């Protein structure tokens, strides 16, 4: 009689053998027809869309007056898709009374990513888009308070993130959040919800060029922020799982084992990076650098005698790991306050510093409310969510590939710190 352990092993062996064969067949088809179809191509990859640009695109479709030419069709679908009103016809009867804004300033000078105002702010929908920027203190609470005053309570705030996460407790108190969600003032939205909305946009759009852009935008979101594979691999795996329901008995154990293995590999890699930096007088704090499938991890970098430490504003050097963005591992220099709050002399030096970084091809400037990040620089790393690469790393018992990648990452960090510190010294005012 077959033991339970032997039965489990047989089920897993059969499942993964069939899954491997099916995925290989799918990939062979993709390779065969790639010349005709270009499965991996997406025009938006040339522009490295971030939080701000994604918000601008979403706002563009919501604006009946924009060049997509579809008038209020997209806005109507959005209202219906997220159940934002019981009377869309009344709200949309006069386009001239609809105002769409990006980076809409509140009374306290915070900025809501997108607002949709109807009838001179009689009703307002706010969208806060969170891809990589963390919530600032009381940020969502302040947004709600501002929208409450503008509209006398007639508003909705969509809190958008790749996974549909809740706002952080630093951004809004838990009890207040629960109350606002219960009264439908705040609604969490995932990027999967946005993709579903974009599919509806496709069906009503009459302009071929706009429809193609919507398709490209959908694909970009799925690949960049939802981690979906090309050529329908995610759908294939889901269908295959439905046909082998017995594997679900082992799903939790497999998920925990996979997460644990990735986490151990992640920690080993970063410890090796830190070890390589010690000889250069550089230390990184790994307490907050942990493996995760979404969100971000951060490691503060300290260089003994760094000129940034002497500045009251331009002082925070950090390493980030964010699996849902590209690049997922990068280093930045951050300012401790918003650009508008800097003294004029320091602001001028920062702007000159950023220009020099761009001249040296050290990355684009990324900004968000509450802080200003200078030139995020990609760092070589292990692709912890790439099964093939992780498999090869784990098979390397001696750890040569892991150490090689960690050494490469450390060298890039050293190079970036040396170059940026040299540039900062160059632009210091004369004594």
| Angstrom distance (rounded) from CA 364 to CA 89 | 43
What confidence category does residue 399 fall into, taking pLDDT thresholds of 50, 70 and 90? confident
What is residue 5's predicted lDDT score, i.e. its pLDDT? 66
Query: Of 93-102, 231-240, 338-347, 377-386, where does mean pLDDT reach its minimum?
Result: 231-240
Tens-digit pLDDT profile for residues 154-209 = 999 999 998 888 998 889 999 999 999 999 999 999 999 999 999 999 999 999 99
Average pLDDT over residues 360-369: 53
Higher pLDDT, 356 or 269: 269
Q: Where are the domains of the chain?
A: 51-195, 254-426
Residue 249: Cβ within 10 Å count: 10
For residue 337, pLDDT over 90 is answered with no
Candidate from 25-34, 50-59, 131-140 with smallest mean pLDDT: 25-34
Residue-level pLDDT at 245: 78
Q: How far does Cα 204 stand from its chain's mean position?
A: 28
What pLDDT shows up at residue 283?
92
171 Cβ partners below 8 Å, 6+ apart?
135, 136, 137, 138, 139, 140, 141
Tokens 């909305």: give the residue: 197
pLDDT of residue 92: 87
C-alpha 323/C-alpha 58 separation (Å) is 22
**Cα distances (angstroms) measured from residue 423 to each of 143, 292, 352, 428:** 38, 34, 10, 9
- Mind listing the pLDDT tens digit for each residue in 408-427? 999 999 988 888 888 888 88
43-100 pLDDT, tens digit per residue, is 777 776 778 889 999 999 999 999 999 999 999 999 999 999 888 888 888 666 899 9
**Taking residues 362-373, what's their average pLDDT?**
51
Distances (CA, A) of 322 to 1, 160, 165, 224, 245: 48, 17, 15, 11, 32
Which two three-digit tokens encode residue 402? 């892991």
Which residues are within 8 A (CB) of 102 and not within 5 positions of it... i.e. 6 or more apart? 52, 55, 56, 59, 113, 114
Q: What is the DSSP string of 212-227?
A: HHHHHHHHHHHHHTS-
130 Cβ neighbours under 8 A, 6+ residues apart:
51, 159, 160, 161, 165
Does the pTM exceed 0.75? no
Per-residue confidence band for 234, with pLDDT thresholds at 50, 70 and 90: low
Report whether 290 contacts 297 (CB < 8 A).
Answer: yes
Q: Please, which pLDDT band fits residue 307 given cuts at 50, 70 and 90?
A: confident
How is 296-333 classified by DSSP, letter by letter? -EEEEEEETT-GGGG-SSEEEEEEEE-TTSSSSEEEEE
pLDDT score at 109 = 81
Sheet containing strand 297-303, strands side by side: 282-285, 297-303, 314-321, 329-335, 371-378, 366-368
Q: How confident is the model at residue 389 (pLDDT cuts 50, 70, 90)?
A: confident
Q: How confident is the model at residue 1 (pLDDT cuts 50, 70, 90)?
A: very low
Q: How far is CA 320 from CA 233, 297, 324, in A?
A: 29, 6, 12
Tokens of 295: 């969100």
**How high is the pLDDT of residue 108?**
81
Q: Which of 32-36, 158-162, 239-243, 403-407 has the lowest mean pLDDT?
A: 32-36
Structure confidence at residue 83 (pLDDT) = 92
350 within 8 A of 335, measured Cβ to Cβ? yes
CA angle 295, 56, 76 (to 5 degrees): 105
pLDDT (average), residues 309-316: 67
What is the token pair recorded at 162? 């790749």
For residue 71, what pLDDT is reported? 93
Range with lowest mean pLDDT among 77-86, 177-186, 299-308, 398-407: 299-308
Please give the pLDDT value at position 345: 79
Select the highest-mean-pLDDT range: 35-44, 82-91, 272-281.
Answer: 272-281
At 23, the pLDDT band (50, 70, 90 cuts) reads low
Q: What does the pLDDT look like over 375-384, one tens digit per residue? A: 678 888 888 8
Number of Cα atoms under 13 Å in the Cβ half of residue 32: 6
**Buried b / exposed e along 283-313 (16+ C-beta atoms within 10 A):** ebebeebebbeebbbbbebebeebbbeebeb
Terminal CA-to-CA distance of the chain, rounded, Å?
87
Closest by Cα among 221, 273, 429 to 343: 429
Tell me the C-alpha distance between 220 and 42, whole Å: 7
Is 334 within 8 Å of 373 (Cβ atoms)? yes
């Amino acid at each position: 009689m077959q033991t339970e352990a032997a039965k489990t092993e047989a089920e897993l062996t059969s499942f993964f053998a069939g899954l491997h064969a099916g995925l290989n067949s799918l990939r062979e088809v993709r390779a065969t027809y790639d010349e005709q179809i270009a499965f991996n191509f997406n025009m938006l990859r040339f522009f490295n869309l971030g939080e701000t640009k994604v918000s601008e695109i979403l706002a563009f479709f919501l604006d009946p007056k924009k060049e997509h030419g579809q008038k209020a069709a997209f806005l109507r679908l959005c209202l219906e898709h997220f159940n934002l009103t019981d009377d869309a016809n009344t709200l949309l009867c006069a386009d001239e009374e609809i105002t769409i804004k990006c980076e809409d300033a509140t009374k306290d000078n915070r900025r809501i990513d997108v607002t949709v105002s109807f009838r001179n702010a009689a009703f307002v929908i706010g969208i806060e888009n969170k891809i990589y920027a963390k919530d600032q203190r009381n940020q969502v609470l302040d947004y709600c308070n501002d929208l409450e005053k503008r509209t006398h309570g007639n508003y909705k705030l969509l809190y958008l993130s790749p996974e549909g996460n809740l706002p952080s407790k630093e951004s809004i108190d838990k009890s207040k959040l629960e109350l606002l969600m219960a009264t439908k003032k705040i609604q969490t939205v995932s990027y999967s919800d946005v993709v579903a909305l974009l599919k509806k946009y496709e069906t009503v759009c009459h302009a071929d060029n706009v429809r193609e852009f919507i398709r490209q935008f959908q694909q970009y979101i799925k690949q960049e922020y939802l981690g979906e594979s090309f050529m329908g691999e995610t759908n294939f795996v889901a269908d295959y799982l439905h046909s082998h329901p017995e594997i679900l008995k082992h799903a939790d154990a497999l998920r925990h084992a996979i997460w644990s293995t990735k986490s151990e590999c992640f920690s080993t890699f970063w410890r090796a990076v830190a070890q390589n930096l010690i000889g250069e007088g550089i230390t990184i704090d790994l307490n907050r650098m942990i493996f995760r499938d979404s969100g971000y991890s951060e490691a503060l970098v300290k260089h003994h005698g760094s000129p940034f430490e002497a500045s009251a504003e331009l002082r925070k050097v950090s390493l980030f790991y964010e699996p849902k963005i590209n690049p997922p591992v990068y280093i930045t220099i951050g300012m401790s306050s918003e650009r508008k709050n800097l003294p004029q002399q320091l602001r001028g030096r920062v702007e000159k510093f950023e220009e020099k970084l761009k001249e040296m091809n050290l990355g684009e400037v990324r900004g968000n409310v509450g802080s200003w990040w200078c030139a995020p620089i990609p760092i070589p790393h292990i692709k912890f969510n790439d099964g093939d690469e992780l498999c090869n790393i784990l098979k390397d018992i001696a750890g040569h590939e892991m150490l090689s990648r960690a050494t490469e990452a450390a060298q890039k960090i050293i190079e970036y710190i040396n170059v940026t510190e040299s540039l900062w010294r160059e632009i210091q005012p004369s004594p």
